[in-house]
Amino acid sequence: MHFLVCAVLMGVLLYPAASPHAFPAKGEDCSRCHTLKKEEATALLKEVIPKAKVLDIRMSPTKTMWEVAVDTGRKGIVYLDFTKRYLLLGPLVDLKNRKNLTEERLIDINRVDTSLIPLADALVLGRSDARHKVIVFDDPE
């Protein structure tokens, strides 16, 4: 009888871990259960990337890890899994669509807002009210 009670109890306790119910449903927001703050990410990355300043944390396209934007003198992307044990320092590629998702994100985080570039002392060639502008930086020395 004791064996039967233990077996039933183990079955009830282990069922959620062995069933699909242990994982979020398709489309469910994993960020409700898994969190990562900038301070925590900085501490976790400190051993591997000592100079990394965490700029942003968001869910990765795979929905199984975080995408962490870092600045080490240059902006980059790293991925950290939900267990906070595994770090991916390379590109994340969508094989089905043949897209380098890391490269696309790097373009986003390195985009420059040209409206913030002061042009008061700029040498203007062509029409100053042109629809498209090209800004060239040059060092006269």
For residue range 8-29, what is the model confidence (pLDDT) as tens digits?
Answer: 444 444 444 443 444 556 666 6
Number of independent structural domains in the chain: 1
Percent of the chain's residues with pLDDT above 90: 53
Q: What is the pLDDT of residues 40-66, one digit of tens each?
A: 999 999 999 999 999 999 999 999 999
How far apart (Å, rounded) are the C-alpha atoms in residues 44 and 113? Answer: 31
In a domain, 116, yes or no: no
- In single-letter form, the type of residue at position 74 comes to R
| Predicted pLDDT of residue 4 | 44
Backbone φ, ψ for residue 24 (5° rounding): -65, 150
Mapping DSSP to helix (H, G, I), strand (E, B) and coil, where does residue 70 land?
strand
In a domain, 42, yes or no: yes
Could you list the residue range(s) of the whole structural domain that residue 38 is in? Answer: 20-111
In a domain, 8, yes or no: no
In a domain, 141, yes or no: no
Percent of the chain's residues with pLDDT above 70: 77
In a domain, 1, yes or no: no
Look at the alpha carbons of 109, 60, 76, 40 in this order and tell me if their dihedral is positive or negative.
positive
In a domain, 76, yes or no: yes
